[in-house]
Structure 1
């Protein structure tokens, strides 16, 4: 961890000292525009959240159940899991597209496929057509979801990078809110439009992205990696320094990116998949990435995310209106908690938030299990109400880390040449975990009800131990400095050595300006 100390010192004396305290996102026209384009990328996550909440809501609609002949537990598992099966099919191609044609164009490709897929889903005439459309939704979403968060992280102004990247996954719940309240608003329509309207709206974010993605700047890191250094410098200068290419911040960022990418090229000529097991640093990254991906889906959250209606049925809350209301309110609660957590990532630190989140989840999921058991065994109405309260408290702690941090932390600990592939591993792991959850959870809940919760209690306890032992703090560092922590002090010094001269030059210029002013004053 010696490299972390070096990197932290560099961050304190380097890039942080070059940030203009007067330049805020709300009082700088170009920063405001940059953040507006970043919001366009952030809604990719909302598309994913919309899908999960929509499927939750559709399962409460008699119109949807009647049209598809009341799907069995195994059929429900397939209908939910097929989207992630589609994602799995796209993963072999996504990182090569992101690194090959660029982050921006990859988002366009993914959004275009999503537009076609949602049109087919909305017009579905059979269960097979509905399943096929959902497979295509997962396929297209993979491309956009691979490129969008990386682009957010790579173009953000340094002061806001962590918060914006953390907001990416938090906006999953914005899509969930829209879907939950859309299904609540359409469930009284006495025909198939009760479920077709939510299906149509699922494609709206993708339509907006297809139309506006051309205005989003390309990643300076991708441009440098492709030898387009002049364009990279232009992007950094335009958005981070009002067009001034000689601004010390711009020069620092540009030289840091160049040095980091050049260093990675020299020490890792082969940046294929084997690179993840080639060095101790990459093995650490791989272990953490795979773990937090599984944790984000195997912490019991998959039960309420996709099968809330079955849980409510089991505690004798069977009215469709009540179920849809709880689903909608839970989505708003999650968004509120996740956005607060996103705003605090630079103040609280990643490690503290992961620990706090894991311990809190263990406490409230165990409480949920006890209350569920009390209702199933004794039939106490108060126990049923406690289950709902504990679900809300569980999600409050889940949203501290496992909503905002997992994407941000994965992106920032990976060096540029491995970022797209590493993020694909992360998403691939999530899809595997989701397929298991979506297919097994309804069957397990149907057979053993509350006893199934005990499995998750034990797993969350394991998560607490893992987070304590392996999660590394990365607060206050740039992307390049964060990635260098895992490779040791030598790698960190080599990477940041080429940019420190920029800071020294800036400091000398400042001293010279002060001396000139003093001379003029004397004259």
Structure 2
């Protein structure tokens, strides 16, 4: 494959410069309205770290620790899990944009309850509602989680798919950075509950922005085709990828391949949950979806992401401004490292990034555990070198995590799934994310309170298991067109459009000719054969 070309439907196509194409430029600049959902979740993670460090918040809720603190943090994940049965159907029936809007409205109601909460129960209920709305906005964006990632994956030019879909989840850290800045600033509001209420209120701004600007983003061409809106789908493809030229060769190739693939899937495949364990290829996908969901939160990142003040307390750092400053710097480093790696996904490859990330995280976690032990076991806990080492390895750990799991969580999961299973497959992955988040957020503060630094050993062991699973099951999808990645899992049973579709129809119908494939003709032929 040349440097100035990319492959789609078995052909080489010239690369494009997005800012030189009017339609593509406009859509790419407005896609942030869909991608901002990820930043909303990142803001929440940083917000909880900030609130835990604020004296005013702790006084308002009687200094929560252990299981109470765990419930406060886990409430949002509980809400996300409750949304899971609803999300795929909202995304597939009403469209990606409608799902994002529905989720945003629910999130705003949750933000209101959290911000006015004078009792811990109201704070928890508000966060559950907030998580429920976020679950719909992402999954419909499902992610956090679906509509937004699906809309991004299915709308961008095939040349830019990897970068844009990877950036989506990396924006978690943009939200985290904003949350860290806000918490550090409002912490200086002395003697007022507004020091913690303001950060809570500001959590609703992304949802308001999405409600306004999401309508500037076109609907997914794949969703439109699946609903029979062929003319509208082609117009979207032409507008975004070819400056409105519906006769463009690439637009027609994309349109035909998507249409043919969906037609074949509807004709020869079902669309229910049992498909995920009915074939070897789908069982392989399920292993990846389930594992990547748990690995994204059980790699040890959950301790610092939501309980940084408790971790820093292990090395004697308790001053609120110091904790909030470290939180701010860590968020800034994460933004740079997570976003930067997005531009190397297609150069390095997914599998290599996952393996590198997991191995580097293990090295950092072992080093952190040793440093924590040295600091704690040292008489008086005054080992400054050990404390500084913990801080350094916290930063190195997150850089290592961002190499693989920050951006690739959504993009890789989307890539390995055929269209008919994409929404439900991401639902499975995000259910595992929410389940692992719920466990982390509830159990981590209890474990840190009871056994301190020894809890890190648990994650060291788990990271060894993680490396094995990634090495054994994760496949490389680098530079493979979205509609053709199915061949990596299903082999000769793969259903895809283009030239391969003709061969698939011949196999399934018993025909052996060289007639080109036509989606409607293939379906008609099947009816006649029955």
TM-score (norm 1): 0.91
Q: Give the corresponding residue for 1:50.
A: 43
Matching of residue 315 in structure 1 with residue 315 in structure 2? yes
Matching of residue 410 in structure 1 with residue 403 in structure 2? no
Structure 1 495/279 Cα, relative in aligned 2: closer, same or farther at 3 Å? farther
Cα separation, 1, equivalents of 2:370 and 2:40? 34
- Match of residue 99, structure 2, among 83, 103, 106: 106
Q: Give the corresponding residue for 2:528.
A: none
Q: Give the corresponding residue for 2:136.
A: 143
Say if 2:258 and 2:497, in contact at 8 Å, map to a contact too.
no
Say if 2:88 and 2:424, in contact at 8 Å, map to a contact too.
yes
Structure 1 16/53 Cα, relative in aligned 2: closer, same or farther at 3 Å? farther
Cα separation, 2, equivalents of 1:451 and 1:285? 34
Cα separation, 1, equivalents of 2:458 and 2:51? 28
Say if 1:256 and 1:499, in contact at 8 Å, map to a contact too.
no
Say if 1:24 and 1:31, in contact at 8 Å, map to a contact too.
no
- Structure 2: 5+ residue stretches without partners: 140-146, 504-530
Any idea what SS the aligned residue of 1:242 has?
coil
Cα separation, 2, equivalents of 1:225 and 1:26? 30
Cα separation, 1, equivalents of 2:460 and 2:489? 31
CA offsets, 1:296-354, max 9 Å, x none?
10011001101110011111011111100000100111111111111111100000100
Structure 1 13/191 Cα, relative in aligned 2: closer, same or farther at 3 Å? closer
Matching of residue 358 in structure 1 with residue 358 in structure 2? yes
Shift of the alpha carbon at 1:213?
A: 1.4
Cα separation, 2, equivalents of 1:481 and 1:427? 24
Q: Give the corresponding residue for 1:373.
A: 373
Q: Give the corresponding residue for 2:470.
A: 467
- Which has the higher relative contact order, 1 or 2, with Cα contacts under 8 A spaced 6 or more apart? 1
Any idea what SS the aligned residue of 2:18 has?
coil
Q: Give the corresponding residue for 2:53.
A: 60
Structure 1 211/462 Cα, relative in aligned 2: closer, same or farther at 3 Å? same
Cα separation, 1, equivalents of 2:21 and 2:325? 41
Q: Give the corresponding residue for 2:21.
A: 28
Identify the range of structure 1 (232-241 vs 485-494) with the bigger mean alpha-carbon deviation.
Answer: 485-494
- Match of residue 483, structure 1, among 478, 482, 486: 486
Identify the range of structure 1 (37-46 vs 481-490) with the bigger mean alpha-carbon deviation.
Answer: 481-490
Q: Give the corresponding residue for 1:77.
A: 70
Shift of the alpha carbon at 1:219?
A: 0.5
Any idea what SS the aligned residue of 1:427 has?
helix
Q: Give the corresponding residue for 1:40.
A: 33
- Match of residue 396, structure 1, among 392, 395, 399: 399
Any idea what SS the aligned residue of 2:479 has?
coil
Say if 2:7 and 2:480, in contact at 8 Å, map to a contact too.
no
- Match of residue 430, structure 2, among 408, 427, 439: 427
Shift of the alpha carbon at 1:495?
A: 5.8
Say if 1:259 and 1:496, in contact at 8 Å, map to a contact too.
no
Shift of the alpha carbon at 1:71?
A: 1.3
Aligned length: 490
Structure 1 12/342 Cα, relative in aligned 2: closer, same or farther at 3 Å? closer
Any idea what SS the aligned residue of 2:53 has?
coil
Any idea what SS the aligned residue of 1:212 has?
helix
1:428-467 to 2 correspondence within 5 Å?
A: 428-467=431-470
Structure 1 222/475 Cα, relative in aligned 2: closer, same or farther at 3 Å? same
Say if 1:237 and 1:243, in contact at 8 Å, map to a contact too.
yes
Matching of residue 220 in structure 1 with residue 221 in structure 2? yes
Say if 2:353 and 2:403, in contact at 8 Å, map to a contact too.
yes
Any idea what SS the aligned residue of 1:71 has?
coil
CA offsets, 1:461-496, max 9 Å, x none?
111111111100001122211134211134257764
Shift of the alpha carbon at 1:216?
A: 1.1
Q: Give the corresponding residue for 2:238.
A: 237
TM-score (norm 2): 0.90
1:201-220 to 2 correspondence within 5 Å?
A: 201-220=202-221
Say if 2:7 and 2:479, in contact at 8 Å, map to a contact too.
no
- Structure 1: 5+ residue stretches without partners: 1-6, 501-523
Shift of the alpha carbon at 1:31?
A: 1.1
Cα separation, 1, equivalents of 2:153 and 2:165? 6
Say if 2:50 and 2:324, in contact at 8 Å, map to a contact too.
yes
1:111-190 to 2 correspondence within 5 Å?
A: 111-146=104-139, 147-189=147-189, 190=191
Shift of the alpha carbon at 1:208?
A: 0.5
Q: Give the corresponding residue for 1:263.
A: 264
